Structure 1
C-alpha cells in the first residue's frame, strides 16, 4: 500500500464550519471512499487554515478517478469547494479540492518491525 500526503489551504474565516462538516461526513461519502480504494485517510488542520491530508491507496490516481465517478463525491466536492483558497499561483482552475491538492514527497518513514 502506498502512502500519500497532501496539502490545501482552508479559508481562515471558514475553519470552524469546515471542522464541523467533517464531524458529520455523510455515510454514503464514507462508503464511497472505502469502496474506491482510500484507506487510513486522515485530515489535520492548523489554525491558520493549512490542511494536511494523509491517505493510503494502491494507486492514488485510480482512487481519485473512481471517486470522481461517484455522484456522492460530486455533491460533497461542490459543497467543500467554497472552503478553500485559490491555487498557490492565484488562479482558480475549476477542479474540486480532492483533485487539486499538492502532493508532498515522502522523505522518511519509520517501518514497522
Structure 2
C-alpha cells in the first residue's frame, strides 16, 4: 500500500456542513474509491485554522490517478464546491504532504 497525506481548506462557516456531507457520503462514491484502490481513508479537521488533513492508502498510483476523471468523483467535487476551497474545475485545492516518518 502507498500512504498519502494531504491538506485542504474548508470554509470557516461550513465545518458542520462539510462533516454532514461526509457522514452521508454516497455509497456509489465509496464503491468507486474502493474500485480505484483506496482504503483506510480519514479526514481530520483543525477547527482553529479550517484546515483539513487527509490520509489515504492506495494500491497503486496509476489506478488512483484515474479516480479524478470518474463521473461520480466529478459529481462529488461539484457537490462539495460550496463548502471548501476549490479550483475552477471544482477539484479541491489540495497540497500533498511528504512522509517523513512512519512506524507500524
Please give the TM-score of this superposition, normalised by the length of structure 1: 0.81
Matched, 1:107 2:100: yes
Q: Which residue pairs with 1:73 in the alignment?
A: 73
Q: Which residue pairs with 1:43 in the alignment?
A: 43
Equivalent pair of 2:4/2:97 in contact (CA under 8 Å)? yes
Between 1:77-86 and 1:22-31, the stretch displaced more is: 77-86
Q: Which residue pairs with 1:4 in the alignment?
A: 4
Moved over 2 A (4+): 58-62, 92-95
Query: Shift of residue 20 of structure 1?
Result: 0.6
Query: Shift of residue 69 of structure 1?
Result: 3.1
Paired residue secondary structure (1:22): helix
Q: Which residue pairs with 1:28 in the alignment?
A: 28
Paired residue secondary structure (1:62): helix
Aligned-residue RMSD, C-alpha: 1.7
Please give the TM-score of this superposition, normalised by the length of structure 2: 0.87
Query: Shift of residue 62 of structure 1?
Result: 3.2
Q: Which residue pairs with 1:53 in the alignment?
A: 54
